[in-house]
Structure formats: C-alpha cells, structure tokens
C-alpha cells in the first residue's frame, strides 16, 4: 500500500520533473520540455514561469545559436547557476579533496590536502574535513550563492541513513559521525556515502544509454568495492551501506583477507592479494598496508612479459572476481559491469580467467554476451557522483519541496 497522494504533491512532482528534464537536457526550450516530460505546454509554461520568478531557472538571453527555421524562435531555458551551490567532499587514503560546485554543476573552487588518514585520530579526521568545508564555505567565488547541501564520499561502510562512517580501510577508527559533525559546521544537510555508490551515480549520469536501471560498478584497488544500481535506484542494504561484494566468500576457509575473515573475493583480487600471490605465494601472509600504483603497474608489466607467478596471481584475481560476479548474477541476472580504478588497467590480465569462472556459474549462461567496461581513474567519477547526488537533493527538496519549511529555509538563506 503506497502513501496517499495529496493534491499538492502533483505540482511538487511536476516541478521536480521539469527541473530534472532541464538538468539533463542543458538548455532546452519549453517545447522540448513538454515533449520529454509528457506534460502539456500550458503546464510547462506555468511551472517554468514560477521557477524563473523564483530564480531557480534562467532564460538564456540573446546569444541564441539562431534558428534558421521559420516561426517564433525557441527560448532556451537553463538551470540558473546563481541559484545555489553544493559541496562535495571525497576522503580517501591519505587524501582529502573538497569541491564547491554551482547549481548548474560547474566547478567553482577546489581544495585538496594530503594527510595521513591511517595515523590520524578520530578528532583529527573530523577536524581536517571540517576545515576543508569551512575554507570552501568562505570562498569568495561563492558570490552570495547559498550552499545548500554537502555530500561526502568515503571508501568503506556507512550506515543506511548516511550519517556515519561505520568502518573504513583508511582509518582504524569506526563509527565516525561525519554527517553530524559537518552539519554543525555548515548548518546544512550532509550525507556520507560509499565511494562506489557515487561511482555508480556518475556512470549513470554520464552514460545513461549503457548504465540505466541495472548495472554494477566494481572498484579494483587495494580492496574491492561495489556500487550497485537495481531497478533504477542505488542499492544499499537496509542497515548499512551493504554491497560488500569484496567480502563475499569465494573459497570457504581460503586466503586470509584484510578484514580478518578467510576466502573473501578481496583476498584474491585486491591489490594486496595479487601482490602477495605473485611475490610470496603464501595466501596466509598478512596483507601489506599499501602498494603504490607504480608497483602494481610493474607487476602487471611483468605478468604480460612472461608466464610466471605474476601472471598466475592476476589469473587468480580474475577467477575470484568471476565467481563472485557469477554468484551475484545468479541472484540479480547479468547486467553491464564497469571496472573502475587503477586495477582496471590490468583488466586484460584478469579477463580470461574471469570469463572462464563466470561460465562455471548459474549466472554465466550467456557469459559471452556480458560486456565489461573499464575506467582507470576513479576520483573524477566519485566527485561527479557526489555532485549529481547533492544537486538532485537540492532540486527535489528545496526547489520542489513537499514540506514548506524547506523552502522557507531557502528564503532565509538568500535574503
């Protein structure tokens, strides 16, 4: 039983629809919007007039690429970049990077620092993050725009309400309430998300042809992460952020994993596992703390050069990933997969054994037709995913609010 549909929901939802259509199309005319949304011209006219009056949208004045066609020229209409701004924060191993982004999605300012996340105290981690946020909030490029939302991405497990970092490989501390801490600093809503989920958001935004309703983003890095889009919405578990693909058990009582358990996919396919298999051959050796991309690249080069333990290690990684994906496909059916991160640059070494393993599983019945994509640099994807998520929040909650209190808040902030 779905919730009751009130009368005013109609306007709210259609406003959100119009904003989303414009965000996707860039600079559409009213006629374009009517076509993509399916709403009538009159409705589009009314809604866009309201949104322009509120400063959310702006008409592109002059400078039209001319029409060359007869008839009244179309008036391009776009997101008003002055309407608001949002902030993204990406915390990763020994690196903190924050960005200020205007309401139309353009980068206004960046702030990047390196510091040792592994040795930092809880308070230190929160303080560094808060300081980065504070610096950007005071940035003069803001020019009076209200900053309405912060989305932070971290590697690790967050709680389902996106308030705290429950566990992460970048620090030994757990249950760090980043959202509360940053809300206190900024006075606006903050959520903290899993980095791979943000990668999935970004893939969907960049290439909705390929990544629409169901697809999988897998981060190949020191550990293995996953972002899962199911039926058009980001899948995260009910309690935590879920999607712990890297810690599905590939081999009961198998190789020692960084998480302390045995036989996880990550214990075969994470950088440390590949390194360990290639260099020591001992699956029970304690995982190395960090392995540079350069080291991994030379390992891959060696594996390509000759048939030896290096090549074997990448094959094992492919096998573990293949069985893991096969098990996932047994549950959710095959879907497009994108391998992201520096590890994806060695995908040629991984792919044969990965495909062979998938073919052994229930999900691998059409394993030939499964396509894989790679994207070796994850950072831009993570940031873009955060931006997309934050802007969508603002679109829906502030500019098409179900609850008048939220819009009142915006009124106060721009006053």
Partner DNA sequence: ATTCTTTTTTTCGAGGCTCGAAAAAAAGAG
Partner DNA sequence: CTCTTTTTTTCGAGCCTCGAAAAAAAGAAT
Which member of 19, 22, 47, 199 binds DNA (CB under 7 A)?
47
**Which residue's structure tokens are 């030994």?**
172
Cβ neighbour number for residue 155 with a 10 Å cutoff:
23
Which member of 19, 21, 22, 39 binds DNA (CB under 7 A)?
39
Tell me if 10 contacts DNA by CB under 7 A. Answer: yes
Rounded (10°) angle between helices 41-53 and 7-25: 80
DSSP 40: -
Tell me if 31 contacts DNA by CB under 7 A. Answer: yes
CB 46 to DNA: min, Å: 6
Which member of 251, 374, 406, 407 binds a copy of itself (CB under 8 A)?
251
CB 35 to a copy of itself: min, Å: 11
CB 228 to DNA: min, Å: 33
Question: CB pairs under 8 A, 24+ apart, for 134-141?
Answer: 134/185, 135/98, 135/111, 136/87, 136/98, 136/99, 136/100, 136/109, 136/111, 137/87, 137/185, 137/186, 139/100, 139/108, 139/109, 141/100, 141/108, 141/109
Question: What residues between 50 and 79 interact with DNA by CB under 7 A?
Answer: 66-67, 69-75
Cβ neighbour number for residue 185 with a 10 Å cutoff:
18
Which member of 116, 119, 160, 371 binds a copy of itself (CB under 8 A)?
160
Tell me if 245 contacts a copy of itself by CB under 8 A. Answer: yes
Question: What residues between 334 and 363 interact with a copy of itself by CB under 8 A?
Answer: 334-335, 357, 360-363
Tell me if 238 contacts a copy of itself by CB under 8 A. Answer: yes
Question: What residues between 141 and 180 interact with DNA by CB under 7 A?
Answer: none
Q: How many residues bind a copy of itself (CB under 8 A)?
A: 58
Which member of 131, 259, 356, 409 binds a copy of itself (CB under 8 A)?
259
| Binding partner selected for residue 133 from DNA, a copy of itself, none, CB under the kind-specific 5 to 8 Å limit | none
Distance (Å, whole) CA 62 – CA 218 = 45
Which member of 24, 26, 41, 239 binds DNA (CB under 7 A)?
41
Tell me if 212 contacts a copy of itself by CB under 8 A. Answer: no
Question: What residues between 244 and 263 interact with DNA by CB under 7 A?
Answer: none
3-state DSSP: the chain helix, strand, coil percent, rounded to 5? 45, 20, 35
User: Apex CA 108: angle with CA 52 and CA 382, to 5°?
Assistant: 100
CB 123 to a copy of itself: min, Å: 26
The pairing of beta strand 337-340 with beta strand 372-375: parallel
Tell me if 45 contacts a copy of itself by CB under 8 A. Answer: no
Distance (Å, whole) CA 39 – CA 186 = 38
Tell me if 13 contacts a copy of itself by CB under 8 A. Answer: yes
Distance (Å, whole) CA 53 – CA 69 = 29
Q: Is 363 exposed, middle or buried (0-12, 13-18, 19+ CB in 10 A)?
A: buried
- The answer to whether the beta carbons of residues 408 and 215 sit under 8 Å apart is no
Which member of 331, 403, 404, 415 binds a copy of itself (CB under 8 A)?
331
Interacting stretch for a copy of itself, rule CB under 8 A, among 134-142, 198-206, 271-279, 331-339? Answer: 331-339
- The answer to whether the beta carbons of residues 234 and 197 sit under 8 Å apart is yes
**Which residue's structure tokens are 């958001």?**
201
Give 13 or 135: the residue with its C-beta nearer to DNA. 13
- The answer to whether the beta carbons of residues 381 and 204 sit under 8 Å apart is no
In degrees rounded to 5, what are phi and psi of residue 186?
-100, -20
Give 4 or 405: the residue with its C-beta nearer to a copy of itself. 4
Interacting stretch for a copy of itself, rule CB under 8 A, among 14-22, 179-187, 273-281, 300-308? Answer: 14-22
Tell me if 415 contacts a copy of itself by CB under 8 A. Answer: no
- The answer to whether the beta carbons of residues 155 and 164 sit under 8 Å apart is no
Tell me if 11 contacts DNA by CB under 7 A. Answer: yes
Which member of 25, 46, 142, 356 binds DNA (CB under 7 A)?
46
CA-closest candidate to residue 201, choices 370, 371, 390? 390
Integer CA distances (angstroms), 388 to 103, 226, 378, 406, in order? 10, 18, 15, 20
Q: Which residue ranges make up the site for a copy of itself (CB under 8 A)?
A: 1-5, 7, 9-10, 13-14, 17, 20-21, 24, 37-39, 160, 213-214, 228, 230, 235, 237-240, 242-245, 247-253, 259, 261-262, 264, 319, 323, 326-328, 330-335, 357, 360-363
Binding residues for DNA, per CB under 7 A?
4-8, 10-11, 14, 29-31, 38-49, 66-67, 69-75
């Amino acid at each position: 039983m779905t919730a009751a549909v009130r009368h005013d929901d109609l306007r709210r939802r259609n406003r959100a629809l119009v904003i989303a259509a414009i965000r996707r199309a860039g600079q559409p005319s009213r006629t374009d919007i009517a076509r993509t949304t399916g709403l009538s011209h009159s409705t589009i006219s009314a809604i866009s007039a309201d949104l322009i009056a509120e400063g959310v949208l702006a008409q592109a004045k002059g400078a039209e690429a001319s029409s060359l066609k007869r008839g009244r020229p179309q008036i391009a209409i776009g997101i008003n970049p002055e309407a608001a701004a949002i902030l993204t924060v990406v915390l990763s191993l020994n690196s903190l990077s924050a960005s200020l982004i205007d309401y139309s999605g353009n980068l206004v300012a960046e702030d990047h620092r390196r510091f040792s996340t592994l040795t930092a105290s809880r308070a230190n981690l929160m303080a560094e993050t808060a300081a980065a946020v504070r610096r950007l909030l005071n940035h003069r490029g803001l020019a009076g725009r209200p900053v309405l939302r912060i989305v932070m991405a971290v590697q690790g497990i967050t709680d389902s309400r996106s308030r705290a970092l429950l566990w992460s490989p970048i620090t030994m501390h757990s249950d760090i309430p980043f959202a509360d801490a940053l809300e206190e600093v900024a006075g606006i809503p903050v959520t903290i998300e899993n980095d791979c989920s943000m990668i999935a958001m970004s893939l969907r935004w960049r290439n909705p042809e390929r990544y629409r309703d169901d697809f999988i983003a897998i981060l190949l890095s020191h550990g293995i992460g996953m972002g899962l889009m199911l039926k058009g919405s980001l899948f995260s578990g009910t309690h935590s952020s879920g999607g712990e693909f890297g810690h599905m058990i590939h081999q009961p009582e198998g190789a020692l994993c960084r998480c302390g358990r045995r036989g996880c996919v990550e214990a075969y396919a994470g950088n440390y596992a590949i390194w360990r298999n290639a260099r020591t051959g001992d699956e029970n050796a304690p995982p190395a703390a960090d392995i540079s991309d350069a080291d991994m690249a030379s390992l891959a080069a060696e594996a390509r050069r000759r048939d030896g333990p290096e090549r074997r290690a990448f094959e094992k990684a492919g096998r573990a990933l293949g069985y893991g994906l096969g098990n996932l496909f047994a549950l959710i059916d095959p879907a497009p997969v994108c391998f992201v991160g520096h590890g994806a640059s060695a995908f040629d070494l991984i792919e044969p054994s990965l495909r062979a393993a998938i073919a052994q599983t229930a999900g691998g019945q059409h394993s030939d037709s499964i396509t894989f994509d790679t994207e070796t640099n994850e950072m831009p994807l993570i940031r873009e995913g955060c931006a997309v998520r934050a802007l969508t929040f603002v679109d829906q909650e502030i500019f098409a609010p179900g609850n008048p209190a939220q819009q009142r808040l915006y009124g106060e902030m721009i006053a």
